[in-house]
Amino acid sequence: MDMLSGLAHGAAFIGSNASGLRIAQANPLEHPTWLRFLTTFNYEIGKRVFEHKGPLPGWIPEMVPVTWFVILVLCLTVIIAGRKLRLRNPGHFQLALEFIVTTLEGFVRNIVGDREAKVITPIIGTTFIFILCCSLIGIVPGFISPTSNTNTTVALALMAFFFVQYMAISRLGFLTYAKHFLGEPIWLAPLMLPLHIVGELARPLSLSIRLFGNIFGEETVVGVLILIVTVILGNVLIPLQFPMVLFAVFGALVQSLVFSMLVSIYIAVALAGHEEHQ
């Protein structure tokens, strides 16, 4: 049902005059989700318009309850798994989670080094799992990926940016970190300072745009392929989008890996550059 209305939405987009678009509908294939009852919206039965009152106001996009759903599922999984931890004879569930944590810790340790890995792994690992789940939930029918919206990715990238700054300042001290911005020959500082600051500020921009562009592109391709089948063939449903769905799984994995890897590399660069100077 929601797929049909999503298709109708997309068909209206493709058939409509471009001036009829509103900027709020940035994603033409954005369709209603199972969590729509939480928001406020208008709907029509026949010619009468009804208003559905949910606990959330109408201007909140539906990816917000979807994000809460992801957070809820992740938290419940970990809480339920963490209740019965056993040192001897651990269950399958505990072993699987331990495998995930060990892999993530090894991944961070390879990049950042042994000393800071224990501090950084929880944040990088949580970011990885959260981005992966947010990207993958768009494949489930009736859900949209929160990461295909710029708001989520900008928030994640800003969090990563402030985390990198916090790590650099707390480990190096503010003065050493600020001196790093001035560059090596001190008389080049007027040239290097803006360059370093712009370079630092470009990082969250490129992080957020990369994640958003990839996930949004995959979702749009899948949606357009569904649309092509229904528009051309009518009622004959062929899963033309299936290869792209598989590719979306791969892309979600790679993009979450790239995001967490880049954040840990930024931290490693900020911490290692200092040791070389000394």
Partner 1 sequence: MSPVVALILAIGFGVPIAVIGGALGQGRAAGSALEGIARQPEAAGKIQTAMIIGLALIESLVIYALLISLILLFMGVPSAEKLLQAVSKVK
> Considering beta carbons, is residue 12 or 73 the nearer one to partner 1?
12
Give the nearer residue to partner 1 in terms of CB position, either 64 or 262.
262
Neighbours of 207 (CB within 10 A): 22
Q: Kindly identify the residues of this chain, within the stretch 241-270, that bind partner 1 according to CB under 8 A.
A: 254, 257-258, 261-262, 265
Choosing from 4, 8, 14, 21, the residue that interacts with partner 1 (CB under 8 A) is 21
Residue 219 tokens read as 């979702």
**Alpha carbon 106 to chain centroid, angstroms:** 22
- Looking at the DSSP bridge assignments, the partners of residue 48 are 45
Rounded CA separation 246/170 (Å):
42
Select the span of 14-22, 97-105, 118-126, 138-146 touching partner 1 (CB under 8 A). Answer: 14-22
Q: How far is the CB of 19 from partner 1 (least distance, A)?
A: 4
Report helix angle 242-277 to 150-172, nearest 10.
20
CA dist., res. 122 & res. 128, Å (int)? 10
Q: How many residues bind partner 1 (CB under 8 A)?
A: 19
Write phi, then psi, for 45 (nearest 5 degrees).
-125, 115
Query: Which H helix or E strand runs over 237?
Result: none
Under rule CB under 8 A, residue 26 binds partner 1: yes
- 270 touches 203 (CB < 8 A): no
Contacts of 265 (CB under 8 A, 6+ apart): 111
Alpha carbons 243 and 241: distance in angstroms, whole number: 6
Cα 276 off chain centre by: 34
Could you give the angle at the alpha carbon of 113 between the alpha carbons of 254 and 168, nearest 5°? Answer: 90
Give the shortest CB-207-to-partner 1 separation in angstroms.
9
Under 8 Å CB-to-CB from 277, ≥6 apart: which residues? 180
Task: Enumerate residues 97-116 that contact partner 1 by CB under 8 A.
Answer: 110-111
16 lines the binding site for partner 1 (CB under 8 A): no
Among 206, 237, 246, 273, indicate the residue that binds partner 1 (CB under 8 A): 206
Please report whether residue 221 would count as binding partner 1 according to CB under 8 A: no
Choose one: 21-29, 56-64, 88-96, 184-192; the region binding partner 1 (CB under 8 A): 21-29
Shortest approach of partner 1 to residue 215 CB, angstroms?
11
Segment near partner 1 (CB under 8 A); pick from 65-73, 165-173, 207-215, 225-233: 207-215
Nearest CB to partner 1, comparing residues 69 and 266: 266
Q: Does 154 contact partner 1 by CB under 8 A?
A: no
Q: Which of 9, 179, 180, 210 binds partner 1 (CB under 8 A)?
A: 210
Work out how close the CB of 111 gets to partner 1 at its nearest, in angstroms, rounded to a whole number. 8
Binding site for partner 1 (CB under 8 A): 18-19, 21, 23, 26, 110-111, 206, 209-210, 213-214, 217, 254, 257-258, 261-262, 265
